[in-house]
């Protein structure tokens, strides 16, 4: 069990803006009607996560190296899929800009620096970018990771428990309200509902960017090293054994993300949808604290702000760290530096992380102070572009994993079914 963990690292980046901002925001707009999209978005990508992880364990490949096995044109030995995906990934980082704004808004609510809310929130946002840079450059975050994970988990569980407490308030959820979320409807405004569904697919569960990141955490955990070379005795048993560990790891992360996200959605649908003023602006997260204050009482606002800060800040750090690894992997594939040189790899991680943080900081200062708009847009683009591109690539490499450790036929059927369902949801929403 000590080997389980990469999925939780991924969950650390998943349990962020999607759950804390996008999910309650859509619940506030549409009520219970999009519950089906929330559950599907969280649970259906499990098989994709396992298969990209399986391929990388069995063959000792990074994500880009795995995608390089796909057919089609290559530039300097690097697949067009990896090149286009990373370009699209840059656009999805609009969500990180929104997260910086949301973190700034949370800190302003807790400790305002000036009377002007926008100035205070923007100052806090820039300070958090600087702190992220310091933590990652010096490797300090590794020592804080367990503490932050515990705080995020505790906060998420308090949201889950809030569902039970909610039943004793005027906002109690009826069976009719709950079942209304399973009609596969887009609500009264089909176009707005379709946009929301695609953004939820891009925001929740192990979304495309987290699928891309997962192999890096697996390899850093040492899964591939424990499998060893295929020519060694017992390779098949070791490979299959580590895949079973991976399945438990991914399953635990999927279950955690699904339960907590559904709780966020139900609280938002029950409480925020009945309020005339919807969450927006730099105070969007503070506004959403009503999900707890209306359940536990006014004292819980402070708990919500602390939990929200830990959730969003950990997302910013993990996503930035993953960005360094993703781009470093691509640059190594292009021959910019030798992947086997650990010093060059580490330096590239830091440089890429720094460049992205500077870019995010500049965009944060220049763009309008509407975190929720940036978060939803970035996650919509991830759902409409990155998700279908990567899921087809994963399917291709999954069927080309070494036969001795390849998925079973029932698993293959479930993989294809999950992709078909997700594609049907995307096509149905985009062309509705």
| pLDDT reading at 3 higher than 60 | no
Please write the tens of the pLDDT for every residue from 31-85.
Answer: 999 999 999 888 888 899 899 999 988 888 899 999 999 999 999 999 999 999 9
Mean pLDDT, rounded, for 185-212: 84
**CA torsion angle for 374, 377, 380, 381 (degrees, to 10)?**
-100
Q: Which of 274-283, 294-303, 331-340 has the lowest mean pLDDT?
A: 274-283
Q: Report d(CA 226, CA 156) in Å as an integer.
A: 33
Of 102-116, 123-137, 231-245, which gets the smallest average pLDDT? 231-245
State the CATH number of the domain containing residue 112: 1.20.1740.10
Residue 82 domain-assigned?
yes
For the beta carbon of residue 398, count every other beta carbon within 10 angstroms.
22
Q: Is the pLDDT of residue 393 over 90?
A: yes
Note whether 48 and 55 are within 8 A (CB).
no
Q: Among the listed ranges 129-133, 207-211, 334-338, 361-365, which one has the minimum average pLDDT value?
A: 207-211
**Which tokens belong to 223?**
């899964």
CA 307 – CA 124 distance, rounded (Å)? 17
pLDDT of residue 142: 62
Q: Under 8 Å CB-to-CB from 236, ≥6 apart: which residues?
A: 404, 405
219 falls within a domain: yes
Q: Which pair of structure tokens corresponds to residue 169?
A: 């308030």
For residue 371, give its domain range: 6-430
Whole-prediction pTM = 0.86
Residue 230 has pLDDT above 80, yes or no: no
Task: For 182-191, write each residue's pLDDT tens digit.
Answer: 988 888 888 8
Assess if residue 16 is contained within a domain: yes
Which residue has tokens 């599907």?
A: 40
Q: Which of 413, 410, 416, 378 is nearest to 394 (CA)?
A: 416
The larger pLDDT score, comparing residue 392 to residue 139, is at: 392
**Would you say residue 402 lies in a domain?**
yes
Average confidence (pLDDT) over 247-271: 86
Q: Specify the pLDDT at position 63.
A: 92
Instruction: Assess if residue 1 is contained within a domain.
Output: no
Using pLDDT thresholds of 50, 70 and 90, give the confidence band for residue 146.
low
Pick 344 or 300 by higher pLDDT.
Answer: 344
Q: Point out the least confidently predicted range of 123-132, 182-191, 390-399.
A: 182-191
Predicted pLDDT at 145: 61
- CA distance linking residue 100 with residue 221, whole number of Å: 29
Within a domain: 381: yes
Instruction: Name which of 210-219, 257-266, 317-326 the model is least confident about.
Output: 210-219
Question: At a CB cut-off of 8 Å and minimum separation 6, what does 148 contact?
Answer: 12, 310, 313, 314
- The rounded distance, in Å, linking the Cα atoms of 228 and 239 is 8
Give CA–CA dist 88/80, Å, rounded: 12
How many domains, the chain? Answer: 1
- Residue 94: inside a domain: yes
**Structural domain includes residue 256:** yes
CA distance 385 to 372: 20
């Amino acid at each position: 069990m000590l080997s389980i963990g990469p999925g939780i690292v991924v969950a650390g980046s998943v349990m962020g803006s999607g759950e804390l901002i996008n999910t309650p925001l859509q619940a506030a707009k549409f009520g219970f009607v999009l519950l089906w999209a929330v559950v599907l978005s969280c649970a259906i990508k499990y098989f994709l996560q396992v298969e990209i992880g399986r391929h990388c364990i069995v063959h000792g490949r990074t994500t880009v190296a795995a995608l390089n096995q796909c057919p089609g044109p290559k530039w300097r030995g690097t697949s067009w899929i990896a090149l286009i995906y990373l370009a699209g990934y840059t656009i999805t980082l609009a969500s990180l800009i929104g997260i910086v704004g949301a973190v700034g808004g949370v800190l302003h609510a807790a400790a305002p620096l000036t009377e002007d809310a926008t100035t205070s929130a923007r100052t806090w946002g820039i300070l958090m970018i600087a702190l992220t840079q310091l933590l990652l450059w010096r490797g300090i975050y590794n020592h804080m990771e367990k503490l932050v994970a515990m705080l995020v988990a505790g906060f998420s569980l308090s949201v889950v428990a809030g569902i039970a407490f909610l039943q004793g308030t005027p906002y109690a959820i009826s069976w009719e309200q709950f079942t209304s979320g399973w009609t596969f409807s887009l609500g009264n405004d089909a176009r707005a509902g379709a946009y929301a569904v695609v953004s939820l697919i891009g925001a929740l569960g192990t979304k495309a960017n987290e699928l891309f990141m997962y192999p890096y955490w697996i390899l850093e955990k040492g899964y591939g090293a424990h499998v060893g070379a295929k020519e060694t005795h017992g390779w098949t048993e070791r490979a299959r054994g580590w895949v079973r560990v991976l399945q438990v790891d991914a399953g635990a992360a999927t279950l955690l993300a699904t339960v907590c996200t559904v709780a966020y959605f139900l609280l938002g649908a029950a409480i925020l949808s009945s309020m005339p003023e919807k969450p927006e602006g730099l105070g969007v997260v503070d506004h959403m604290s009503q999900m707890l204050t209306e359940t536990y009482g006014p004292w819980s606002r402070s708990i919500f702000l602390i939990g929200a800060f830990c959730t969003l800040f950990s997302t910013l750090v993990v996503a930035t760290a993953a960005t360094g690894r993703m781009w470093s992997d691509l640059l190594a594939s292009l021959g910019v530096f030798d992947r086997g040189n650990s010093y060059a790899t580490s330096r590239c991680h830091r440089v890429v992380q720094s460049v992205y943080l500077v870019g995010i900081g500049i965009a944060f200062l220049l763009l309008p102070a509407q975190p929720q708009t940036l978060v939803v847009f970035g996650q919509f683009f991830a759902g409409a572009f990155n998700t279908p591109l990567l899921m087809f690539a994963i399917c291709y490499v999954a069927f080309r994993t070494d036969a001795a450790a390849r998925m079973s036929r029932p698993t293959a059927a479930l993989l294809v079914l999950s992709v078909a369902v997700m594609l049907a949801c995307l096509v149905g929403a985009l062309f509705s």
